[in-house]
Structure 1
Amino acid sequence: MADPTGRTILHINFGDIIDQPLALTGATKYRFRFLDVAALAHKSTVHVLEFEDLPAEPYAVISYVWRGLPAHPDVKSPLPNIHVEGIEGADPISVDVLRLISLAAESFGCRFVWLDALCILQAHEDDKAWQIQRMYDLYRNCRTCIVAPGGLQRLVAPTEETSWMARAWTLQEAIAPPMVHCIFEWSLGNCIMQSNFPLKIEEIERGVAAVAPLNFTLLTAMKGTGFEMLDWSGKSIQKPSPDFQIRMFGDRSRSHPQMRELVDAIDMKGKTGMHTAIWRCSFMRMAKYPVDTVFSIMGIMGVTLDTTKFGHDDRLEATIALMQAILARGEHAEWLAIATRVVPNPRLSTLPAFPQTDASRKPVLESREGMKDVADVMDTGWRLADTPKGTMSDDGYFRFSALSASVRLVQNQEEGSTAFESEFGSDSAGKWEVLSQSSENASHKAVYIGRWEQYNNGAFGVMRNPRDHALMLIEEHAPGRFHNVGYAFVPEGVLTTLHSIFKLPRGLVLSSVFPTAKVDLVANNAGPNSISNIYILRGAKVLTTGFLDGATAEWNLGELMLSLMLKRGITQRVFA
């Protein structure tokens, strides 16, 4: 029977730690390992225990970057650094920082703390794969996550910039736990940073370090200097300087999209709409191995992939597997239109092109004007509601049924408003015109994929968007073969114009937020009332439409079609 108190696999006093890689020679593969909080905080000892299952007693987890800010050259700690076998190239770990984190964990009632560097057998790929598959559960079941944004060589001051927000694994660490707190260098005592919400800062060691909730720390960082400081009694106190602001997650102007989407993901945790924010966050973060950008979000999305089936560079293949699993549960394709100003991925065109890194190792995205900082091209603050559902094949072919219209590019592409309500513009693909009749020769279609909806958060103002109907523009490059070329957001007026052009069958009741665009429909073997239009999209050269048996018909489009089908007893399969 497993020992619920754990089995000791390492017990070493601070004074006995030498400048050599530390190995967990007594460890057994495929086990959970934790550091003893009391030993670190009060006994000057690193005590690692091993468990067959997650411990019943409360534990904390640590979120940090392997390569953070360097130690202060003029500050010499009397405590040693730890080097871990198997992660050569990563920063050494300051024992003093671990001690402070353990004090924070203890303040939240935690008996243990988990640190990937010491709790995963870094020199054994099979143990790492086992741990990664269980990582989400480990974070989900902790009492709190403690974020050290600048790494583990030292704590950072709130005013110092770090790379924590740009790393892939920190996304899961910020969302999965029930509570998340930041730890940072602090000498101003217990206080509150007050804007339209309070950020409570609590000292862990007087004059040395403090903790604060991550979500309110992010929101305060986005406020810049727009807050006042109070003591815990509510009395105003002076800021360290007039321009004092939190920069631990990056410069406010450059890192706003990353901070905003993380806030949205935290706010939407467990709700429809969270996945859109997660997908966006993942495209603004990087990992040593590209496949980790998928492994780091799969658990949040309720998926456990077999990590041994993918190589370090298999981001595309792992992404397809993740999408397949999401769609197989009957969920919506919430990744559609996550970055409408970024060029479509040439191999999986319903996603943006995967990010690259610039010379400073920061993520950049490809627009039609070239490589851009994520702050310049990433969409934030909204999601698409009612995106379609569907299936995806192993090679990434994306099959879905959607309401659509034949369209063509407008010859006069000069800037300005569209001349007619049958025309609409796309920020990424120019001006388009909806054709007034069915055209078998039309090479493009506009496919309705959802309705624009703001993420509601008390920290941000309410946005109004009159162009709240989202279309995906697809191009036919071979018979029945399409790829995504961009997105457009159109007002209801564009669709209302179509309502006056096309006649509906008598007796239909139109009650839809999207009532007025044209769609090609095909009767299938289920009977004369069964209507379907199937698209299969992958990348630039993709199998896309497959018409079932029956004749093509023209109808006015909208969610009204769903009503029509339901009234006629038709089961609607919507493919994403």
Structure 2
Amino acid sequence: MRIFNTYVQNELPTYLIYVPDKRLVGRNEVKQMFRKEVTLITEEAIHSRLVDLRESCPTAEREDAIRDIVKDTLKFAVLSHRWLDTGEPTFSDILKSFKPYGYEKLVKFCEKANEFGCRLAWSDTCCINKDSSTELEEAIRSMFKWYRDAYVCIAYLADSTSVDDLHEDVWFTRGWTLQELLAPWRMKFYVGNWEPLTSNLNDKENLEVMAVLSRATRIPLDDLRHFQPGTRNVHEKMMWASNRTTTRIEDVAYSLIGIFDVSMMVAYGEGKRAFYRLMEAIILKCDQWQIFAWAGPSSSDSAAFPESPRGYRPLNPVDSNDALLPSTVWRGDRNIVMTKRGLQIQVFLIDLSQQEVTVYEKIDTDDVQTDAYSNYSAGVVDYWCYDTSGDGVLQPEQEHLCVLLRPDPRNPYAGWRKVTTPNLVTIHTKSKLRRTLTPVWL
């Protein structure tokens, strides 16, 4: 029973809908409801499951088999949908009664969950006690995990009728639905009047649907099907979120916590500072120069970070792909760190008035030559490093991303101040340049 109790207390959502009775249950009630069933698990069943597990994981132990059986017994479905302005049942509504009138979406969700053999279901509209700041914070910080651990994610796209108009659904514009798309291993889409989009049990295995989703979201097919959270490819993930909106400003950041697999406190009322704190958490684990590929307004808390994901701009996929570099070669500063003076980064500092440098602005997908920044200096962030000498190298006729800098008269100790630009700024050099890198604080 120890494994069962631990699983319920630490892996399941705080509240779930018990589908057969259509009522809200907490973790303690779940334990009471399923305890007898778990005690009936036989040694034969455990041994059989262990044999199955060891086919993919030779080091699996008996406890792993028991936990896997418990997970199957308590499998739950989660709902992904676009919230309505009114009419969504709340936590307190469901505690009072589960009325069919006005709860059509929730009733249909429970019906579909039952079809997948799930006796438990979770919806963000009614399974979070938002009157408790502790429970709300746990839900927000655990939500990616709950969607990942769910047996199936049932996605309801009310504005769609078929695969052909899927890309037009408002569901693709909402902030929270990004992690709801990426986290689940098994996903089933329903459209219009709760008609299944395909005949598949798992629409993530339908390549036609996944291709449509990939075009609609600009998310690679492999990430749609097998997404791994973390702080690799921050720039790319921010681009996925850049055109999405949330009702609460803070949710722009909170909806990305699980995608980047970082930990941060939830504090509604902090406004745009939430995104600054998200970037702080990301930078602790990120060593990729592409995180600076943004333009437009900066955070009021740091010139090093954008105001929101909307600041991120496309990069040339060829020039920005470092995946194939040998281990002895790298680009940019691998030891970016937040300090009391600001974000510290080593840059290749270059005077933009030099004749051997051509400056460009990236406008949409075009590189447009400009002399608007000739009175500034540039801190190139994607220079090449071929050894540990402390020198950086710029290769001729290659696009290099930079942050625009000028001396800071108000803070000579810091030295340089980042200048806001409406577009990404890149430079090309006419010859190979090598020099000692310069630390700057942004």
Q: TM-score, normalised by structure 1?
A: 0.51
2:388 corresponding residue in structure 1: none
Alignment pair present for 1:431 and 2:435: no
2:198 to 201, 207, 211: 201
CA 1:472–1:86 in 2, change beyond 3 Å: closer, same or farther?
farther
- 2:261 is matched with which residue: 302, 305, 315? 302
Amino acid in the other structure paired with 1:170: T
What is the rounded CA distance, in whole Å, between the counterparts of 1:268 and 1:387 in structure 2?
Answer: 28
- Tell me which residue corresponds to 1:111: 119
User: CA 1:291–1:107 in structure 2 vs 1: closer, same or farther (change >3 Å)?
Assistant: same
Q: Is the 8 A contact 2:173 2:245 kept in 1?
A: yes
User: Which position in structure 1 is the counterpart of 2:161?
Assistant: 157
Shift of 1:353: 4.2
Structure 1 residue 276 and structure 2 residue 276: aligned? no
Which residue number in structure 1 is paired with residue 135 of structure 2? Answer: 127
**Deviation digits for residues 270-309 of structure 1 (CA, Å, limit 9, x no counterpart):** 38754323212333222222111111111221212121xx
Query: CA 1:489–1:106 in structure 2 vs 1: closer, same or farther (change >3 Å)?
Result: farther
Q: Higher helix proportion, which one? A: 2
Aligned counterpart, 2:277: 321
More displaced, 109-118 or 98-107?
A: 98-107
Aligned counterpart in structure 2 of residue 50 of structure 1, from 23, 26, 43: 26
CA contact (8 A) 1:60 1:112 kept: yes
Distance 1:180 1:396 in 2: 46
2 CA distance for matches of 1:82 and 1:434?
Answer: 54
Quick one: structure 1 residues 181 and 445, their matched pair in 2 at CA, closer, same or farther if it must change by over 3 Å?
A: same
- 1:54-453 to structure 2, matched below 5 A, reads 56=71, 57-67=74-84, 82=89, 84-85=91-92, 95-150=103-158, 156-158=160-162, 159=165, 161-185=168-192, 201-202=198-199, 212-213=203-204, 216-217=208-209, 219-220=211-212, 256=216, 259-261=217-219, 265-266=223-224, 269-270=227-228, 273-307=232-266, 310-316=267-273, 318-329=274-285, 331-332=287-288, 334-337=290-293, 339-340=294-295, 342=296, 344-345=298-299, 348-354=302-308, 379=314, 382=317, 385=322, 386=331, 388-393=333-338, 397-408=342-353, 422-427=357-362, 431=370, 443-449=376-382
Secondary structure of the 1:102 match is helix
Counterpart for residue 238 of structure 1: none
Taking only aligned residues, the RMSD between alpha carbons, in angstroms, comes to 4.4
The number of equivalent residue pairs is: 354
Q: CA offsets per residue over residues 482-534 of structure 1, 9 Å max, x none?
A: 204443345xxx44x33xxxxxxxxxxxxxxxxx2354x3xxxxxxxxxx521
Residues 66 and 110 of structure 1: is their aligned pair in 2 closer, same or farther, counting only changes over 3 Å?
same
Cα separation, 2, equivalents of 1:282 and 1:133: 18
Query: Unaligned regions of 5+ residues in structure 1, if any?
Result: 7-29, 40-44, 72-80, 191-199, 205-210, 224-255, 356-364, 367-376, 410-419, 436-441, 452-465, 499-515, 522-531, 538-576
> C-alpha separation between the residues in 2 aligned to 1:285 and 1:430?
31
Is structure 2 residue 425 aligned with structure 1 residue 534? Answer: no
Residue 534 of structure 1 aligns to which amino acid in structure 2? Answer: P
Give the match's secondary structure for 2:353.
strand
User: Structure 2 length normalisation: TM-score?
Assistant: 0.64
State the SS of the aligned residue for 1:110: coil
How far apart in 1 are the matches of 2:212 and 2:416?
Answer: 48
| Seq. identity, % | 16
| Distance in structure 1 (CA, Å) of the matches to 2:313 and 2:2 | 49
Residue 221 and residue 292 in structure 1: after superposition, are their counterparts in 2 closer, same or farther (change >3 A)? closer
Task: Kindly provide the CA deviation profile for residues 57-114 of structure 1, in whole angstroms up to 9, marking residues without a partner as x.
Answer: 222211112227x99xxxxxxxxx8565389xxxx98544334433443454433221
The CA deviation string for residues 446-493 of structure 1, in whole angstroms up to 9 with x for no partner, is 413379xxxxxxxxxxxxxx9863321322142412204443345xxx
Which residue type is aligned with residue 473 of structure 1? V
Distance 1:113 1:407 in 2: 59
Structure 2 CA distance for partners of 1:329 and 1:289, relative to 1, 3 Å: same
Name the residue aligned to 1:481. Answer: 416
Shift of 1:314: 3.2
Alpha carbons 1:60, 1:145 under 8 Å: kept: yes
What secondary structure does 2:198 align onto?
A: strand
Which structure carries more strand by proportion?
1
CA separation of 1:31 and 1:269: change in aligned 2, threshold 3 A: closer
Q: Secondary structure at the match of 2:134?
A: helix
Rounded to whole Å, the distance in 1 between the matches of 2:441 and 2:75 is 48
In 2: Cα distance, 1:167 partner to 1:187 partner:
20
Q: Per the alignment, in what secondary structure is the counterpart of residue 299 of structure 1?
A: helix
Larger radius of gyration: 1
**Distance between the aligned counterparts of 1:289 and 1:395, measured in 2?**
29
The question of whether the paired residues in 2 share the 8 Å contact of 1:183 and 1:212 is answered with: no
- 1:67 partner amino acid: L
Q: Please give the secondary structure, in 1, of the residue aligned with 2:150.
A: coil
Q: Residue 536 of structure 1: CA displacement? A: 1.3
Change (3 A) 1:83 1:327: closer
Question: 1 CA distance for matches of 2:136 and 2:298?
Answer: 33
Show CA shifts across 1:140-162 (max 9, x none). Answer: 22222221133xxxx75234743
**Where does the alignment leave 5 or more consecutive residues of structure 2 unmatched?**
7-11, 32-69, 95-99, 323-330, 385-395
Local SS of the residue matching 2:400: strand
Aligned to 1:34: 16
- The amino acid that maps onto 1:305 is M
| Contact 2:276 2:299 survives alignment (8 Å) | no
